[in-house]
Amino acid sequence: MSQTYRLKLLLTNDHTLSEIFNVATSTNAGDLLSDRRLEIIQSLNIIVGSHPKSSSGTVASIGPNKHYSLDAGADDKWDLGAGLTALRGFFVSVRAGALNNSLLLNVQVKCGAFYQAGSLKDLMRAFLSVRPRDWPGLGRLLKKLSIYVTHLPKKNKAGQLIIRPKAITGLASMNDTQDTNAPKVAEFGAAANQVQIFFESKDEKAGAGRYQTVADYFKKGKLSSREIADRPRFGRWGSAKRWTIC
């Protein structure tokens, strides 16, 4: 079960539009580095960055100030190979100017590297097509990557698909865990038929349980043999002591 946290939000201050305008246009040198003016600048940064952040379907925001268009044209998008794409976006912020107590709107062109959208297997194959059998490199590429689980879809009472994001911790490794009934991994980055997971038996007469390969597990109504074969390597998420099939 996921850990539950309790948050308490406190109001520190509020500003009206007229107050923001008055401070932004003030010619009083004493207001240049005042706490009130710094709060106004922070408020203006929130206002300036509100539109790209509200366009989550078409704009990817990295931190509070960097924004990249997901619908970028050919001039703002480059295929880097190995499953990566470069996008050209911008960095925007409001800053205090040194001349006449002015405010400056700073806009800079920024480039960033992103994973290509699509299935996890396509990303892994794109990387391996450029760097064949580079399992350590593939592990670094996938580490901490967020994915959506699609092989076991779940829906809520309204019939809507429940999105279950997971973070990959790496490829299967022989040294992941030394716990009792630990997974058996043939080699680093082993495929589905080379990784065995221990399944506890629900029937006391059948014994404590048994090991089963990931490939055999998914053949039981989860995935077809062809879909299993399409997965070039076996990934995992969760802690090193607790595996989840990917």
192, 234 in Cβ contact below 8 A?
Answer: yes
Give me the residues paired with residue 75 across strands: none
Q: Which residues contact 172 (CB under 8 A, 6 or more apart)?
A: 183, 185, 188, 189, 190, 194, 195, 233, 234, 235, 236
User: By mean pLDDT, which of 76-85, 107-116, 235-244 is the weakest?
Assistant: 235-244
Mean pLDDT to the nearest integer, 25-46: 72
Q: Which residues contact 213 (CB under 8 A, 6 or more apart)?
A: 192, 193, 194, 195, 196, 197
The amino acid that residue 134 corresponds to is D
| Residue listed under structure tokens 């009130």 | 36
Q: Which residues contact 171 (CB under 8 A, 6 or more apart)?
A: 135, 138, 139, 142, 188, 189, 190, 233, 234, 235, 236
pTM, full prediction = 0.64
Mean pLDDT to the nearest integer, 9-30: 75
pLDDT above 70: residue 227: no
Percent of the chain with pLDDT over 70: 78
pLDDT above 80: residue 217: no
| Residue listed under structure tokens 């880097």 | 80
- Model confidence at 235, in pLDDT bands (50, 70, 90)? low
CA nearest to 171, candidates 133, 129, 131? 133
CA nearest to 191, candidates 167, 216, 172, 168? 172
Q: What is the model's pLDDT at position 222? A: 54
Q: What is the model's pLDDT at position 121? A: 83
pLDDT above 80: residue 127: yes
User: By mean pLDDT, which of 85-94, 195-204, 232-241 is the weakest?
Assistant: 232-241
228, 211 in Cβ contact below 8 A?
Answer: no
Q: How far from chain centre, in Å, is Cα 137?
A: 19
More confident residue, 160 or 27: 160
pLDDT above 50: residue 59: yes
Strands 235-237 and 165-171: antiparallel
More confident residue, 86 or 178: 86
DSSP 58: T
- Model confidence at 246, in pLDDT bands (50, 70, 90)? very low
Q: In Å, what is the CA distance from 37 to each residue of 30, 34, 196, 232?
A: 10, 5, 61, 56
Tokens (6 digits) for 27: 């010619």
**Three-class DSSP category at 175:** coil
Q: What is the model's pLDDT at position 99? A: 65
